[in-house]
Amino acid sequence: MSRYLHTMLRVGDLQRSVDFYTKGFGMNEIRRNDVPDGKYTLAFVGYGTEESNTVIELTYNYGTEKYDLGSAFGHLAIGVPDVAATTEQLRKFGARVTREPGPVKFGKTIIAFVEDPDGYKIELVQRH
What is the domain range of residue 17?
A: 6-61
Give the pLDDT confidence score for residue 61 in this predicted structure.
Answer: 98
Question: Catalytic residue at 123?
Answer: yes
Distance CA 23, CA 87 (A): 13
Quick check: is 51 in a domain? yes
Domain boundary, last residue among 61, 84, 105: 61
Quick check: is 68 in a domain? no
Quick check: is 33 in a domain? yes
Number of domains in the chain: 2
**pLDDT tens series, the chain, 128 aa:** 789 999 999 999 999 999 999 999 999 999 999 999 999 999 999 999 999 999 999 999 999 999 999 888 999 999 999 999 999 999 998 899 999 999 999 999 999 999 999 999 999 999 97
Quick check: is 31 in a domain? yes
Quick check: is 20 in a domain? yes
Here the CATH number for the domain that contains residue 118 is 3.10.180.10
CB-based burial, 50-89: b 16+ in 10 Å, e otherwise: eeeeebbbbebeeeeeeeeeeeeeeeeebebeebeebbeb
Catalytic residue among 29, 51, 57, 123: 123
Residue pLDDT, tens place only, 57-86: 999 999 999 999 988 899 999 999 999 999
Residue 40 shares a structural domain with residue 84: no
